[in-house]
Amino acid sequence: MRSGLISAPVRGVILAVLVLAAVSCVPAVPGRAPVDLSCEAPSFLKPGDKVALISPSFNTPHANIDGAAAILRSWGLEPVIGNHVDDLYLGSYAGTVDDRTADLRQALRDRSVKAILCNRGGYGSIQMIDRLDSALFAAHPKWLIGFSDITTFHGMETRAGVMSIHGTMSSLMVPRMGQDLSSTLVRDILFGTVPEYVVPAHPQNIPGRAAGTLVGGNLFTLAPNQGTWADAAAGADIILFLEEVGENMTHIDRLFNMLILGGVLDRCRGVVLGEFTDCEANLEYESVEEMLCAYLKDLGIPVLCGFPAGHGDVNLPLVLGARVTLDVGEDGSVLTFDIPGSKTRRVDTAQALLEADSGEDAG
């Protein structure tokens, strides 16, 4: 056989190899084979339990940490301050990525620590995805509290089968000494009382009723996590929560389209839109909610707009990873958490906003 000729059997083998190689390079179809999310609540706290204070993203002044420690003591809890919270790296981070990761690992592995309160967000959590794994969170289930950049760690907790609290942090608890409703509801959840939220009607709401696992957080943090093990939006039958701060409409549109292209909306059973704070209206929409609902209106799922969580003055806590029921009606909405062993406190969010405007404390 001359070197320039290939026999039929050999051609068949080569063709089979090329086909297999081509198939292996084809990306997965968005929305296919969603992840099964089944989360359990960590143990509720009791007086005397320890809570770790860590800064896994940006640095915060130590006065905020001292103030948060005092608030935890007033709740009957014992603060444990991370080793690197005073570090300042590259002008913004609370230490190197290895140092910040070490504080989180230590807080998780310390059996005496029952919850983890993050001091602030900012940026940096995405740098830690490949330094952590779900086994660490699954082996040490405990409440993790925070929002904004902490969205990445909420995704890790959810993917590890552990519920967590999207809620206020040290830097925001201190000015009101932890007496504002955003803080006291976090306290209540830690001790086993979970809110049931009654939310007033919103002009962009899409009525309907749905149940699913609550996931999400800050859109700018959530969208780049797609395809990683911290991506809780890869779950099946999800209720998606989103909030944002300081991004204009075109940036938010781009990020939301990242979720669409990733098949996230195919897995959604409902959507909760939180605060979109200081988001420039550089497109001709009345609001960010109107822009996002233009994508959501034909999906046949309920959409709750204007939930007071995110970067606004009121940041009511949400238990991520929990099964929730979302009931959106013409006259208002109800968001209910199904968490075994918990008690329920009914919270009127309109009243919460009024109290915040008047400067009243929640007690």
DSSP string over 201-269: --TT-B-EEEEEEEEEEEHHHHGGGTTSTT-GGGBSSEEEEEEEES--HHHHHHHHHHHHHTTHHHHEE
So what's the pLDDT on residue 5?
A: 36
CB 210 within 8 A of CB 93: no
- Both tokens of 41, joined, read 């609540």
What is the C-alpha to C-alpha distance for residues 107 and 111, in angstroms, rounded to an integer?
Answer: 8
Strand partners, 70: none
Per-residue pLDDT of the chain (363 residues; tens, 9 = 90+): 333 333 444 334 333 333 333 333 333 444 457 899 999 999 999 999 999 999 999 999 999 999 999 999 999 999 999 999 999 999 999 999 999 999 999 999 999 999 999 999 999 999 999 999 999 999 999 999 999 999 999 999 999 999 999 999 998 999 999 999 999 999 999 999 999 999 999 999 999 999 999 999 999 999 999 999 999 999 999 999 999 999 999 999 999 999 999 999 999 999 999 999 999 999 999 999 999 999 999 999 999 999 999 999 999 999 999 999 999 999 999 999 999 999 999 999 998 888 777 776 665
| Catalytic residue ranges | 148, 243, 311
Strand partners, 143: 115
So what's the pLDDT on residue 252?
A: 98
The domains found in the chain, sorted by start residue, are 50-192 (3.40.50.10740), 197-358 (3.50.30.60)
What is the C-alpha to C-alpha distance for residues 322 and 162, in angstroms, rounded to an integer?
Answer: 9
So what's the pLDDT on residue 16?
A: 39
So what's the pLDDT on residue 352?
A: 84
So what's the pLDDT on residue 281?
A: 97
So what's the pLDDT on residue 361?
A: 66
Indicate the Cα dihedral angle 139, 219, 92, 63, nearest 10°.
Answer: -70
So what's the pLDDT on residue 355?
A: 75
Residue 109: which region, alpha, beta or left (left: phi > 0; alpha: psi -120 to 50)? alpha
Residue with tokens 């909420």: 154
CB 251 within 8 A of CB 282: no
So what's the pLDDT on residue 32?
A: 57
